[in-house]
């Protein structure tokens, strides 16, 4: 993994976001591809996002899955979250909640808080794993403590309803306030 590939990845991020250069998603795709071809897995992961969203390139969920898989296999946890979402939603692959749960668990264990939230949702609904409100609470708490506003928001719901915890509307209000104050937008673009 040479510096060139890492530089191509970062330059792609600049073109994708329009930071320091004019926004040019097609140029970003070319740079992410070059980074990916050079072994920079963040380039592969971001290229997957471009294919999934159809930004700068034709939308191609199958190609996105392949790129996310490559990046996830190399240990890029945000790519594992996105790959889990593809399995959960059946985009580019057959719908497979169990596989989604496994990918979310891997990414959550790897410190990716969005994965903890998604895994919590799966536990709450019993999709791909046995329904387990207490486990969902633990996962939402972990995500909230890790700065993921959706973890706080979901934890607020479980406290408001008393699912897996004693009902505590004051705690719910505090958690909703924390989520509201976080100001972080939901994003699936990889860092």
- Provide the CATH number for the domain around residue 29: 1.25.40.10
Mind giving me the DSSP string for 80-98?
HHHHHHHHHHTSSS---HH
Same domain, 67 and 16: yes
Determine, yes or no, domain membership for 95.
no
Q: Give the predicted TM-score (pTM) of the model.
A: 0.90
**pLDDT tens by residue, 119-177:** 999 999 999 999 999 999 999 999 999 999 999 999 999 999 999 999 999 999 999 99
The residues, any chain, with a CB within 8 Å of residue 141's CB and separated by 6 or more, are 151, 155
Q: For 113-117, what is the mean pLDDT?
A: 97
Q: What confidence category does residue 5 fall into, taking pLDDT thresholds of 50, 70 and 90?
A: very high
Provide the domain count of the chain.
2
Q: Is 135 exposed, middle or buried (0-12, 13-18, 19+ CB in 10 A)?
A: middle
What's the chain's average pLDDT? 93
55-68 pLDDT per residue, tens: 999 999 999 999 99
- Give the Å distances, CA to CA, from 111 to 7, 14, 84, 117, 163: 25, 25, 15, 12, 25
- Domain containing 53 equals 1-76
Note the pLDDT tens digit of each residue in 119-132: 999 999 999 999 99
Q: Supply the DSSP symbol for 74.
A: T
Q: Are residues 71 and 120 in the same domain?
A: no
pLDDT at 21 > cutoff 90: yes
């Amino acid at each position: 993994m040479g510096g060139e590939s890492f530089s191509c990845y970062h330059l792609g991020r600049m073109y994708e976001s329009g930071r320091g250069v004019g926004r040019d998603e097609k140029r970003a795709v070319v740079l992410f591809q070059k980074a990916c071809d050079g072994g920079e897995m963040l380039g592969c992961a971001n290229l997957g996002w471009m294919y999934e969203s159809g930004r700068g390139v034709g939308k191609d969920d199958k190609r996105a899955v392949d790129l996310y898989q490559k990046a996830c296999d190399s240990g890029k946890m945000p790519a594992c979250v996105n790959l889990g979402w593809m399995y959960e939603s059946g985009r580019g692959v057959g719908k497979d909640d169990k596989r989604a749960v496994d990918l979310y668990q891997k990414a959550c264990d790897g410190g990716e808080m969005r994965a903890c939230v998604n895994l919590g949702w799966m536990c709450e609904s019993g999709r791909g794993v046995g329904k387990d409100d207490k486990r969902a609470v633990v996962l939402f708490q972990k995500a909230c403590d890790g700065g993921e506003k959706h973890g706080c928001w979901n934890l607020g719901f479980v406290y408001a309803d008393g699912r897996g915890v004693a009902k505590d509307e004051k705690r719910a209000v505090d958690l909703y306030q924390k989520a509201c104050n976080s100001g972080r937008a939901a994003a699936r673009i990889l860092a």
